[in-house]
């Protein structure tokens, strides 16, 4: 049996996060935490046993002091059926086995328990990806892995079903952040623990010319009228429920008892065949 290729060097990821803890940059995590709290208010249910899976324990412990905080290791330190809410917080895009992570979260939930998973999506850092790849090709004649390949909304929604969750929902929010230059953006990425931790990354120092060319390309392609540089961050939210016998179930196709036109009070007209 073939095993999936390793995407993330977990040792490098842990090192990046330790460095980030010295001067953390949490603006995106704060947005995600605020959004999660708003979602929980809309659910209108009281959760008594919450677990949070994250690479930034201190931040989430402060926001959810009553929750059990566990690291996003490949094997999650969660007990089976122990929680009514599991939050997977801005870490799944680094997982070598994202479906396995979600399955472990489902096993940790009680019947009809809720999962909220927030992760970075495919539009994240799209400007940097393009500028960096063009610069590296121009300077070195080749490309090396530098930014984690993040999933698209249409694909990530299917992970919940594969992991066995009921009533899956996926949505996304896009944040545009502006910087005075490339150096300021790279500073924030280090403070977010989002530096390059790819297993296939270049293991020798990058040529200075690559970064200089990246800065020039970034500015020529994306510079705003005020001279600042935009950076896109896409946060995808996945919501699902642990299956339960008394959960609301979608109707089977063809089981409707009223026609749509009747419900809407409209006039139903037959479709014309092709060519008429």
Residue 264 scores a pLDDT above 60: no
The pLDDT value recorded for residue 248 is 63
Q: What percent of the chain has pLDDT over 70?
A: 87
pLDDT tens column, 70-89: 999 999 999 999 999 999 99
Of the two residues 236 and 146, the one the predictor is more confident about is 236
The pLDDT value recorded for residue 244 is 86
Tokens coding 130: 């393009």
For residue 161, the Cα-to-chain-centroid distance in whole angstroms is 16
Give the span between the Cα atoms of 193 and 76, in whole angstroms. 20
Residue 268 scores a pLDDT above 60: no
* pLDDT tier for residue 157 given thresholds of 50, 70 and 90: confident
Residue 166 scores a pLDDT above 60: yes
Residue 270 scores a pLDDT above 90: no
Residue 123 scores a pLDDT above 90: yes
The pLDDT value recorded for residue 260 is 42
Helix axes 126-140, 208-222, angle to 10 degrees: 130
Pair 93, 151: CB distance under 8 Å:
yes
Provide, for the chain, the percentages of residues in helix, strand and coil under a 3-state DSSP scheme, each rounded to the nearest 5: 40, 20, 40
pLDDT tens column, 194-207: 998 888 887 778 88
Task: Provide φ and ψ at 166, rounded to 5°.
Answer: -95, 160
User: Around Cβ 238, how many Cβ atoms within 10 Å?
Assistant: 24
User: Around Cβ 215, how many Cβ atoms within 10 Å?
Assistant: 18
The pLDDT value recorded for residue 156 is 83
pLDDT tens column, 29-56: 999 999 999 999 999 889 999 999 999 9
Residue 271 scores a pLDDT above 50: no
Nearest to 120 by CA among 274, 231, 200: 231
The pLDDT value recorded for residue 250 is 52
From the number of C-beta atoms within 10 Å of its C-beta (0-12, 13-18, 19+), residue 208 rates as exposed
From the number of C-beta atoms within 10 Å of its C-beta (0-12, 13-18, 19+), residue 99 rates as middle
Residue 144 scores a pLDDT above 50: yes
Q: What percent of the chain has pLDDT over 90?
A: 73
Question: What are the structural domains of the chain?
Answer: 10-247 (3.40.50.150)
The pLDDT value recorded for residue 47 is 94
CA atoms within 13 A on the CB side of 116: 21
Of the two residues 268 and 248, the one the predictor is more confident about is 248
Per-chain mean pLDDT for the chain: 87
């Amino acid at each position: 049996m073939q095993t999936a290729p390793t995407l993330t060097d977990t040792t490098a990821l842990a090192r990046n996060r330790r460095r980030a803890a010295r001067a953390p940059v949490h603006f995106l995590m704060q947005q995600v935490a605020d959004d999660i709290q708003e979602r929980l208010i809309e659910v209108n249910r009281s959760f008594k046993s919450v677990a949070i899976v994250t690479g930034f324990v201190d931040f989430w412990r402060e926001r959810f002091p009553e929750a059990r905080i566990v690291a996003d290791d490949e094997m999650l330190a969660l007990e089976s059926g122990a929680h009514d809410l599991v939050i997977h917080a801005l870490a799944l895009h680094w997982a070598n086995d994202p479906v396995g992570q979600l399955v472990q979260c489902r096993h940790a939930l009680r019947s009809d328990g809720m999962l909220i998973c927030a992760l970075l999506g495919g539009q994240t850092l799209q400007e940097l990806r393009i500028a960096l790849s063009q610069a590296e090709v121009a300077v070195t004649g080749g490309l090396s892995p530098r930014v984690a390949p993040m999933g698209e909304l249409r694909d990530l929604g299917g992970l919940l079903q594969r992991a066995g969750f009921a009533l899956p929902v996926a949505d996304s929010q896009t944040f545009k952040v502006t910087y005075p230059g490339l150096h300021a953006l790279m500073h924030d990425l280090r403070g977010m623990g989002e530096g390059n931790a790819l297993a296939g990354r270049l293991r020798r120092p990058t040529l200075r010319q690559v970064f200089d060319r990246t800065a020039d390309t970034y500015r020529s392609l994306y510079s705003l009228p005020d001279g600042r540089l935009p950076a896109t961050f896409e946060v995808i939210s996945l919501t699902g429920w642990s299956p339960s016998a008394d959960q609301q179930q979608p109707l089977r196709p063809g089981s409707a008892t009223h026609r749509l036109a009747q419900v809407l009070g409209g006039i139903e007209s037959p479709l014309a065949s092709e060519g008429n």
